[in-house]
């Protein structure tokens, strides 16, 4: 990769990191602010309320995927990426200043809901614009490696959030964290978004997009996407197992270790923090491997591992009694998930032509996340509240099994020339041309 490619990847990843910092600190700090927006009572019920709002944010992701995917395909990847980070900054500010239940009743929860809807709108477009940008900005033989920084940056955002949580846990009392300390990460997120907004204003457009000549009125429209409906359905299906597993072992893991295994919040946070650092380091290695052996072998490895190992891993995690056994199991789970996370961005982008690539990634991916990713934590807490917590493990394994069928039957995409992926004449198929 040349210096210019690295610069593009850095700018795209930095913004993605801030986006996902703001997105994930909501989940990681939920145990501290759950009681601030809802009446006191059952802690699990309070977590379910905040998890419900977390899931509602995912409902806006298809809207954001459609709107910002359209912007990315019609106005450019740069325009969409700048807009997404602006929306995320605004939502972080809203959460930082939201009034509590004591001060405004359910008014605070309403502000929280509005902020989460804005976040959903932003992230719905950010994923696709970033995935498309990172994939297009890389050399043909390094797309897996370059696009792996999608989840490096996403995970780095969560690591930053968990790191800040650890610092606050060590410097503030538990009462202070529940009172006002939980607002601090949202202030930090808003400031970070402002910095990235400045960086993205000077970023360069990808050559694949800039040199594309298929500029028509249908560019970035649902009508154009309909011609690639099979690819869109493929994105939904291949996302299903991966997104459930990812949110289970990242967003939900800290709560699971503290609320189910009985570990302290500090220990559970440290487990997640350490595991995610290793997880982030694995992404480029797996991405580079996919450039050599293909995308399908990694996806199939993930799906088989997740189908077979989820139930025993989650069962053992529920009975851990310390940091090291919890960390070992978390690392095993996240290593398996790496087979999906490291390459899913480029696999999806490689399915569509330039004129509908961002929308083609954004909308079906957002739909899959709204149905499976955003609801994962809520489903887990529902099973726990119903007294059948082990049912969630089988649910995660089942989703992975469905995706396994898709991975086994899908075509390989690593050798495709992005500039020559086009709609086949007179059909709903895609003409996929290997890179020369």
DSSP string, 240-294: HHHHHHHHHHTTTHHHHHHHTS---HHHHHHHHHHHHHHHHHHHHHHHHHHHHH-
Please give the Cα distance from 343 to 339 (Å, whole number): 7
Residue 67 phi, psi dihedral angles, 5° rounding: -65, -50
User: What pLDDT, on a 0 to 100 scale, did the predictor assign at position 427?
Assistant: 38
Enumerate residues 6+ apart whose C-beta is below 8 A from 253.
268, 271, 272, 275, 330
If one counts every other C-beta atom within 10 angstroms of the C-beta of residue 297, the result is 15
Q: Enter the DSSP assignment of 140.
A: G
Burial (Cβ within 10 Å: 0-12, 13-18, ≥19) of residue 317? buried
User: What pLDDT, on a 0 to 100 scale, did the predictor assign at position 431?
Assistant: 43
Distance of CA 195 to the CA centre of its chain: 21
Residue 216 phi, psi dihedral angles, 5° rounding: -130, 170
Please give the Cα distance from 315 to 394 (Å, whole number): 11
Please give the Cα distance from 27 to 269 (Å, whole number): 12
Please list the ranges in the chain whose pLDDT falls under 50. 423-436
Contact at 8 Å (CB) between 220 and 353?
no
Please give the Cα distance from 45 to 34 (Å, whole number): 9
Contact at 8 Å (CB) between 403 and 303?
yes
User: What pLDDT, on a 0 to 100 scale, did the predictor assign at position 20?
Assistant: 77
Q: Enter the DSSP assignment of 106.
A: T
Question: Full-prediction pTM beyond 0.75?
Answer: yes
Q: Beta partners for 431?
A: 422
In 3-state terms, what secondary structure has residue 431? strand
Q: At what angle do helices 30-37 and 107-136 cross, to 10 degrees?
A: 150
Query: Is residue 423 left, alpha or beta, with left meaning phi > 0 and alpha meaning psi from -120 to 50?
Result: beta
Residue 425 phi, psi dihedral angles, 5° rounding: -60, 120
């Amino acid at each position: 990769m040349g210096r210019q490619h690295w610069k593009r990847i850095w700018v795209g990843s930095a913004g993605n990191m801030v986006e996902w910092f703001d997105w994930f600190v909501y989940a990681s700090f939920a145990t501290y602010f759950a009681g601030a927006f809802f009446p006191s009572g059952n802690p699990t019920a309070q977590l379910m309320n905040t998890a419900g709002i977390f899931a509602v944010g995912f409902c806006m992701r298809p809207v954001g995927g459609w709107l910002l995917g359209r912007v990315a395909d019609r106005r450019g990847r740069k325009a969409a990426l700048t807009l997404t980070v602006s929306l995320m900054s605004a939502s972080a500010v809203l959460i930082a200043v939201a009034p509590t239940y004591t001060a405004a009743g359910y008014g605070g929860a309403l502000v929280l809901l509005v902020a989460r809807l804005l976040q959903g709108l932003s992230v719905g477009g950010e994923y696709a614009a970033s995935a498309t940008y990172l994939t297009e900005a890389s050399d043909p033989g390094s797309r897996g490696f370059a696009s792996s920084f999608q989840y490096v940056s996403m995970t780095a955002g969560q690591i930053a959030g968990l790191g800040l949580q650890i610092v606050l846990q060590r410097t503030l009392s538990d009462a202070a964290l529940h009172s006002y300390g939980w607002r601090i990460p949202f202030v930090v997120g808003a400031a970070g978004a402002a910095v990235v907004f400045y960086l993205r204003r000077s970023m360069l457009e990808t050559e694949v997009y800039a040199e594309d000549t298929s500029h028509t009125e249908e560019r970035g429209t649902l009508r154009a996407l309909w011609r690639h409906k099979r690819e869109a359905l493929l994105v939904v299906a291949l996302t299903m197992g991966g997104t459930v597993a990812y949110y289970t072992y990242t967003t939900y893991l800290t709560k699971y270790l503290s609320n189910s295994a009985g570990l302290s919040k500090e220990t559970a946070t440290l487990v997640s923090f350490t595991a995610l650092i290793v997880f982030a380091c694995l992404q480029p290695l797996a991405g580079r491997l996919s450039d050599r052996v293909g995308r399908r072998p990694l996806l199939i490895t993930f799906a088989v591992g997740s189908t077979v190992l989820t139930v025993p891993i989650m069962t053992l995690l529920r009975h851990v009694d310390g940091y090291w056994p919890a960390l070992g199991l978390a690392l095993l789970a996240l290593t398996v998930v790496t087979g999906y996370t490291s390459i899913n961005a480029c696999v999806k982008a490689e399915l569509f032509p330039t004129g509908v690539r961002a929308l083609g990634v954004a909308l079906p991916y957002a739909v899959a996340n709204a149905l499976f990713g955003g609801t994962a934590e809520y489903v887990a807490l529902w099973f726990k509240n119903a007294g059948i917590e082990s049912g969630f493990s089988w649910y995660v394994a089942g989703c992975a099994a469905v995706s396994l069928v898709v991975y086994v039957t899908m075509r390989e995409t690593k050798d495709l020339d992005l500039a020559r992926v086009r709609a086949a004449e007179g059909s709903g198929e895609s003409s996929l041309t290997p890179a020369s």
